[in-house]
Amino acid sequence: MRTPRIDIDIRKITHNIQQLKKLYGAKGIEITGVTKLIGGNPKIAAVLVDNGIQILADSRIDNIKRMIKDGVKAQYLLLRTPSLSQIEEVVAYADISLNSELKILKELSKCALIRHTIHKVILMVELGDLREGIMPIDIDNTVKEILELKGINFIGIGSNFACYGGISPDVNKMNELSSLAIRLENKFKISLTIVSGGNSSNYNWFKSSKNIGRINNLRLGESIFLGRETLCRKAIPNLYTDAFTLITEIIEAKIKPSKPYGKVYQNGNGKIKKFKDKGEMNRGILAIGRQDVAISGIIPRQDISILGASSDHIMIDNTRSNLKVGDTVEFSLKYKALLRALNSSYIAKNIIN
């Protein structure tokens, strides 16, 4: 089978979804499945839906289109605030979007009216991580205006954490979101169907809280696919962290010096590097490079180490494993490496189990 490829273990992903549904469901939290990591891969998305995930969320409208085109039946949520230049596509393909700008909401409204449809919106509230969200002080005025927009159904509020600022969704932040939801419901005589507390970083808060207030939704990507919470990147008990495996192939294996020789200038990455002379060594080259994965985010499952990489090659220390040309090397992937690899057209995606 061709390399490089990523083996995607559907049985492990299924297990993770079922465990997370049980865990969060026990206190009334529904899971929105976040598909941006898998680039909207319809086969994997279908597994989420088959296991009872009703809303699929992605930051890119192209990924949503891909899943719809392949017949994955779900409600689709656009995670990143719509761009003004994409309003028509957003209303055409996404049932729900996360929003933080009235200017954009007004355009969504206009477009929904023209298309004779209703577009659902969740208003994101800034609670300290400083990515998307409206400042709490501006909420009341904004909600008042949203409620006057035709073609728009205001279904909830949400917050996001641990993305830009690394801020934790702790009990204070979640209480703030809860109180806000209750206050808006009372003041405007509305009922919010979704109060979305955050993402995979909400695990610690959830585990340590008896009373989770009005929070009834989390948007999970990394926990489902990599089995981790994201504040400390600890494995969540009983989940698989190895559902994805990167498989690469040795295209050169030779005994060579450990130190480059000749006059030293910039290398392919624009760096002037220093090397230690450790004598001759068993070196290997893998047919994959920086263009395909984030080298810092891949961890070998065999006894080799990465010496360096260029756009299309990774050089490894092959001393302990003595791998031959044609042998494969397997890697685990961290989030960023997996994101890039799954979205690289040069890497085959192979569903197993």
Ligand X SMILES: *Cc1c(COP(=O)(O)O)cnc(C)c1O
Q: How many angstroms separate the CA atoms of 82 and 49, rounded?
A: 24
Hey, which residues between 182 and 201 contact ligand X (CB under 6 A)? 199-200
Least separation in angstroms between residue 280's CB and ligand X is: 44
Stretch that binds ligand X, among 215-223, 266-274, 303-311, 315-323 (CB under 6 A): 215-223
Out of 221, 284, 289, 300, the only residue in the binding site for ligand X (CB under 6 A) is: 221
The one-letter amino acid at 150:
K
Out of 13, 29, 34, 236, the only residue in the binding site for ligand X (CB under 6 A) is: 34
Out of 45, 55, 79, 121, the only residue in the binding site for ligand X (CB under 6 A) is: 79
In DSSP terms, 99 is beta-bridged to 123
Least separation in angstroms between residue 165's CB and ligand X is: 14
Residue 312, classified by CB atoms within 10 Å of its CB into exposed (0-12), middle (13-18) or buried (19+), is middle
CB nearest ligand X: which residue? 221
202 binds ligand X (CB under 6 A): no
120 binds ligand X (CB under 6 A): no
The CA distances from residue 81 to 86, 98, 124, in Å, are 10, 6, 9
Bridge pairing between strands 280-286 and 314-317: antiparallel
Stretch that binds ligand X, among 5-13, 48-56, 217-225, 258-266 (CB under 6 A): 217-225
Q: Which residue, 86 or 200, is less far from ligand X as judged by CB? A: 200
220 binds ligand X (CB under 6 A): yes
Stretch that binds ligand X, among 46-54, 99-107, 216-224, 289-297 (CB under 6 A): 216-224
Least separation in angstroms between residue 59's CB and ligand X is: 5
Active-site annotation, residues:
36
Q: Which residue, 126 or 222, is less far from ligand X as judged by CB? A: 222
Hey, which residues between 225 and 244 contact ligand X (CB under 6 A)? 230
36 binds ligand X (CB under 6 A): yes
- CA 169 centroid distance within chain: 17
222 binds ligand X (CB under 6 A): yes
160 binds ligand X (CB under 6 A): yes
Hey, which residues between 237 and 296 contact ligand X (CB under 6 A)? none
122 binds ligand X (CB under 6 A): no
217 binds ligand X (CB under 6 A): no
Q: Which residue, 63 or 160, is less far from ligand X as judged by CB? A: 160
Which sign, positive or negative, has the C-alpha torsion 164, 270, 291, 258? negative
219 binds ligand X (CB under 6 A): yes
Residues near ligand X, by CB under 6 A: 34, 36, 59, 79, 98, 160, 199-200, 219-223, 230
